[in-house]
Amino acid sequence: MLESLLALGGLVLLRDSVEWEGRSLLKALIKKSALCGEQVHILSCEVSEEEFREGFDSYINSRLVYHDLFRDPLNWSKTGEAHPGGPLGALRAMCRRTDPGPVTIALDSLSWLLLHLPCTTLCQTLHALSHQDSCLGDSSPVGQVHVLGLLHEELHGPGPVGALSSLAQTEVTLGGAMDRASAHILCRRPQQCPTHQTHWFSILPDFSLVLQEGPPLELKANPDPHTSLVDPTSHLTFNLHLSKKEREARDSLTLPFQFSSEKQQALLHSRPGQATSHIFYEPDAYDDLDQEDPDDDLDI
């Protein structure tokens, strides 16, 4: 499941809620990207660095480039650790990276950024972040950019959530039933129909993902009402079907004004340059072929 989420590139939006939290899935994706050799940038706003790095082994921790906005977001202590531009400056600095190779940028969380930045600015910056490969002037092969954003959907109204989901290439909505978590994945490929998928999973303490079977579904109560196709020719008081003998008899019936086939062909393909007209005579059953003139019998 993680490969499919990371395959498409662009913005991956993880929508979680209080009951089904998404930070562990975010960390699982980060671990997967780090193990694939990508460079991972993390912009952390909601949890401290120790808490975030907890659970990752030392190899992964060494590959993470950590931008901490939790400790001192407004740069009050003026130690110079925090980014001078605040969160927007940090994001814009990430837009201007120059080193090639695939990179994953994890934003924890987008909700925090939405509360501190105007929504339009955030959308424009996210769009610039996720489309860096097309914006470079020279044709150096820049790898794919993955932007993973964690959004707590209960904190926002339908407006910002709708705006962000229209920007996202992949959208994962976390839910679940009983005590199993599920992820409903919506993939928007360009110019193709979006695909929906649901996976049941659980995340182990070392942030690797295990797919599971879903809980037993309840039986469908109402059967499909559209299956029964009714034949309207049944239960009629008259017969609409023909038996084979009847069909043969019908075919061999001569129609009242039927012409012979030569006359038909001549009428269908009438030659335009014909000066004379033809007379087609086919004797009827009642025709008398006697050459004598019947008027000879008259005694005038």
Partner 1 sequence: MAAVATGGTGAESSGSMAAAASKSNVTSFQRRGTRASGTDSGGPRLVSIAGTRPSVRNGQLLVSTGLPALDQLLGGGLAVGTVLLIEEDKYNIYSPLLFKYFLAEGIINGHTLLVASAKEDPADILQELPAPLIEENCKKEFDKDECNRKTPESNIKMKIAWRYQLLPKMEQVKPTSSSRFGHYYDASKRIPQELIEASKWHGFFLPEKISSPLKVEPCSLTLGYIMLLQFIQNIIYEEGFDGSNPQKKQKNILRIGIQNLGSPLWGDDICCTDNCDNSHSLTKFLYVLRGLLRNSLSACIITMPTHLIQNKAVIARVTNLSDTVVGLESFIGSERETNPLYKDYHGLIHIRQIPRLNNLICDESDVKDLAFKLKRKLFTIERLHLPPDLSDTVSRSSKQDLAESAKLLGPGCGMMAGGKKHLDF
**Residues near partner 1 (CB under 8 A):** 118-120, 123-124, 127-128, 134-135, 157-160, 162-163, 166-167, 188, 191-194, 196, 225-226, 228, 230, 232, 234-235, 255, 264, 267-268
3-class DSSP assignment, residue 96: coil
Q: With respect to partner 1, which residue has the nearer C-beta, 101 or 162?
A: 162
Asked whether the beta carbons of 208 and 28 are under 8 A apart, the reply is yes
Q: With respect to partner 1, which residue has the nearer C-beta, 216 or 223?
A: 223
State the nearest-atom distance from the C-beta of 189 to partner 1, in Å.
10
State the nearest-atom distance from the C-beta of 215 to partner 1, in Å.
23
State the nearest-atom distance from the C-beta of 171 to partner 1, in Å.
11
Q: With respect to partner 1, which residue has the nearer C-beta, 162 or 215?
A: 162
Give CA–CA dist 216/145, Å, rounded: 38
Before 208, cis peptide (omega within 30)?
no
State the nearest-atom distance from the C-beta of 228 to partner 1, in Å.
7
Tell me how long the chain is.
Answer: 300
The DSSP call for residue 170 is E
Q: In what order do the strands lie in the sheet with 39-44?
A: 64-68, 39-44, 103-108, 145-152, 10-16, 170-177, 180-187, 195-203, 209-212
Asked whether the beta carbons of 108 and 44 are under 8 A apart, the reply is yes
State the nearest-atom distance from the C-beta of 250 to partner 1, in Å.
10
Q: With respect to partner 1, which residue has the nearer C-beta, 79 or 192?
A: 192
Q: With respect to partner 1, which residue has the nearer C-beta, 212 or 264?
A: 264
State the nearest-atom distance from the C-beta of 242 to partner 1, in Å.
14
State the nearest-atom distance from the C-beta of 56 to partner 1, in Å.
34
Q: With respect to partner 1, which residue has the nearer C-beta, 166 or 212?
A: 166
Helical segments of the chain, H only: 2-7, 23-35, 49-53, 58-63, 86-95, 110-116, 119-130, 132-135, 158-167, 244-251, 261-268
Tally of CB atoms within 10 A around 274: 9
Residue 257 burial class via C-beta count within 10 angstroms: exposed 0-12, middle 13-18, buried 19 and up:
exposed
Q: With respect to partner 1, which residue has the nearer C-beta, 140 or 228?
A: 228
Give CA–CA dist 147/10, Å, rounded: 6
